[in-house]
Structure 1
Amino acid sequence: AVCRPNQVWVSDITYIGKRESPCYLSLVTDAYSKKIVGFEVSQTMCTPHVVKALKMAQKQRKTNEPLIHHSDRGVQYCAEEYQYYLSKYQLSCSMTENSDPYENAIAERINGILKQEFMIDTYHLDLHLMKQIVAEAIDIYNNDRPHWSNHMLTPNQMHMKSNMNFRTYKTKNSSNLSATTV
């Protein structure tokens, strides 16, 4: 069970903007606190962009305790360059088995919050402005938005605590009856 910050990070990429010419948002989120610890907005889904999000997350990491990095099986996360940084930062690699979104539910939930509540995918602006909008949304998300699963603490508040049980929802996937956090 996840019982402290920087025990498990989840990563994902999602598109934002118009499908004709989207930007891509790479996120690294702490599974315990739901804090977004690393992110990058880019015009491609290339590996160097997800590496930038990972490097940002690593910079804020204040401990050398064991840390698991979980992602889907996207080519960016399987790439030699990304795996190099996981090894360099001494992160254990975990990946979904079947590319099932329920296996990376926290990352998918955070994508949804940013798109639905902060509406970051409704803008069709140049990359520089999209980066600003996303940075502002993530700052508000981390500092001002409480989570039910965090006992109504914000991600930053929860990130400062350890050994708090977080609330879970059951998955909608009938083949997997385990609980999923959001």
Structure 2
Amino acid sequence: AGVTVHSDRGSQFRSRRFRRALRHFGLRGSMGRVGACADNAAMENWFSLLQKNVLNQQQWTTRDELRLAIVYWIEARYHRCRRQRRLGKLTPIEFETIMKDPACLAG
């Protein structure tokens, strides 16, 4: 409930069949604006990193194996290494280390 599927304006995403599938699974459709080619750029970049670093690394025998590999990559690699503008170009680990109270670090 409450999940939004955002897509570009491709014909496959505007089709009756796709919209019916969205309704069937209780999802809400969302499309980028006409002529706004950068709408999906951030997610396309993220998925290309996921594909390069996880999906293309080996053949996965089960969905659970792939799911664990994706979760591991997100939590152990991507979030820990990615510098974030909101954190002053620091990684989340660097930010937490700097922002922690020195008394907490001593304990």
Contact in 2 for aligned 1:114/1:120 (Cα 8 Å): yes
Q: Does 1:110 align with 2:46?
A: yes
**Quick check: which has more Rg, 1 or 2?**
2
Deviations 1:113-137 (A, max 9, x none): 2223x23333211212111101101
Which structure's residues are more often helix, by fraction? 2
Q: How many aligned residue pairs are there?
A: 80
Tell me: CA distance 1:95–1:145, structure 2 relative to 1, closer, same or farther (3 Å). Answer: same
Alignment of 1:5-154 (within 5 A): 54=3, 71-73=6-8, 74=13, 75=18, 79-80=22-23, 81-83=26-28, 94-98=30-34, 102-116=38-52, 118-125=53-60, 126-140=62-76, 141-142=78-79, 144-147=80-83, 149-150=85-86, 151-154=88-91
Q: Which runs of 5+ in 1 are unaligned?
A: 1-50, 55-68, 84-92, 158-182
Please report the TM-score for the alignment, with normalisation by the length of structure 2.
0.52
Deviations 1:74-94 (CA, angstroms, capped at 9, x unpaired):
437x822102xxxxxxxxx74
Q: Percent identity among equivalent residues?
A: 14
Relative to its length, the structure with more strand (as a share) is: 1
8 Å CA contact 1:72, 1:99 repeated in 2: no
Structure 1 length as normaliser, TM-score? 0.34
8 Å Cα contact 2:54-2:73 kept in structure 1? no
In structure 2, what is the Cα distance between the partners aligned to 1:138 and 1:130? Answer: 12
